């Protein structure tokens, strides 16, 4: 089953907003993951239409990275004249020509390159992108702090899962973390990560749909989707009278520890459907209790899917 698109964009959609941790940045509880926007298979005009539709729906957060093809350039181009409406999240630490990955220079130069690709004077949130724990424990945070002090970025943090995520959550210099969170992958928001002294850490959720493991029409399946399919089978959740994508989105979008959750798509109608689902509010308490019971029963020891 897939989300059923509806025709047209609501004229006055107003998605709920949340403060991104201790920053002064307010974000819509649904954000647009920019990975699909960087693909050669989507036209520039269609990418721009998707970004403009997101803004018209009340989605203000756009998440991208230099590894997402031409995503940064396309988002930057689409935001011309509407930059003040958007919160742009991008990443770095790698992929800078002539500079080794995961060095101070790669972070510093990566920020400057991202500013140029996005065509903006500042980046709202800049994240180290899935670097190894041993690397993260080095000096990579220092150039992020300097960029924040210089006004090149408003907030800094880390995107990834596993051991490095816990380290980043505990580093008081960082404002934001981005991690996987969905019905079948809740370990990233475990008590260890959400300790009392971490209440001010803004958290962005990704993989809200868990690769749509309920959709059996696909051919090749990556490791993460296969894992989520196995977990979906083990949890054996009821349908809750909802399309499974809607249930997944409403669960993730209203998770108390998340400021926002990302949905990645290149299809305007699917984005409209995702926004409409989130606008219907959180899942009923009875559904949330059923999910918690199922997860505690079989998933208490599940590790975040990296």
Q: Is 159 exposed, middle or buried (0-12, 13-18, 19+ CB in 10 A)?
A: buried
Q: Which of 191, 186, 240, 235 is nearest to 213 (CA)?
A: 235
Give the residue among 63, 16, 19 at the shortest CA–CA distance from 201: 19
β-pair partners for 110: none
Residue 139 exposed, middle or buried by CB count within 10 Å (0-12, 13-18, 19+):
exposed
Neighbours of 284 (CB within 10 A): 12
Strands 17-19 and 61-63: unpaired
68 is catalytic: yes
Element containing residue 125 per DSSP (H, E) = strand 123-129
Cβ-based neighbour number of residue 208 at 10 Å:
29
Decide if 91 contacts 60 (C-beta within 8 A). no
- CA dist 89 and 260 (Å) reads 12
Contact 93, 110 (CB under 8 A): yes
* Catalytic site residue from 40, 68, 122, 228: 68
| Cα 96 to Cα 106: distance, rounded to the nearest angstrom | 6
CA distance 155 to 148: 6
Annotated catalytic sites, by residue? Answer: 68
């Amino acid at each position: 089953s897939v989300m059923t698109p509806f025709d047209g964009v609501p004229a006055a959609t107003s998605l709920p907003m949340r403060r991104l941790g201790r920053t002064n940045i307010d974000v819509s509880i649904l954000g647009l993951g920019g990975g699909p926007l960087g693909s050669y298979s989507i036209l520039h005009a269609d990418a721009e239409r998707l970004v403009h539709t997101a803004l018209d729906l009340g989605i203000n957060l756009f998440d991208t990275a230099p590894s997402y093809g031409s995503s940064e350039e396309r988002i930057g181009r689409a935001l011309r004249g509407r930059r003040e409406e958007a919160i742009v999240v991008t990443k770095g630490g790698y992929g800078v020509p002539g500079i080794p990955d995961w060095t101070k220079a790669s972070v510093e130069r990566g920020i400057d390159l991202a500013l140029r690709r996005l065509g903006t004077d500042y980046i709202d949130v800049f994240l180290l992108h899935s670097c190894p724990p041993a690397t993260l424990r080095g000096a990579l945070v220092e150039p992020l702090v300097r960029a924040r002090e210089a006004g090149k970025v408003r907030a800094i943090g880390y995107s990834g899962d596993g051991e490095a995520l816990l380290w980043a959550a505990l580093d008081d210099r960082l404002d934001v973390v981005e991690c996987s969170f969905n019905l079948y992958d809740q370990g990233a928001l475990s008590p260890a990560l959400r300790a009392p002294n971490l209440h001010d850490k803004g958290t962005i959720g990704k993989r809200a749909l868990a690769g749509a493991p309920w959709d059996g029409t696909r051919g090749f399946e990556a490791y993460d989707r296969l894992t989520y399919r196995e977990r979906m089978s083990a949890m054996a959740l009821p349908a809750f009278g909802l399309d499974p994508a809607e249930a997944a989105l409403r669960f993730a979008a209203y998770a108390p520890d998340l400021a926002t959750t990302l949905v990645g798509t290149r299809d305007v109608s699917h984005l409209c459907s995702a926004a409409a689902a989130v606008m219907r509010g959180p899942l009923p308490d009875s559904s949330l209790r059923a999910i918690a019971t199922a997860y505690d029963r079989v998933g208490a020891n599940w590790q975040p899917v990296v």
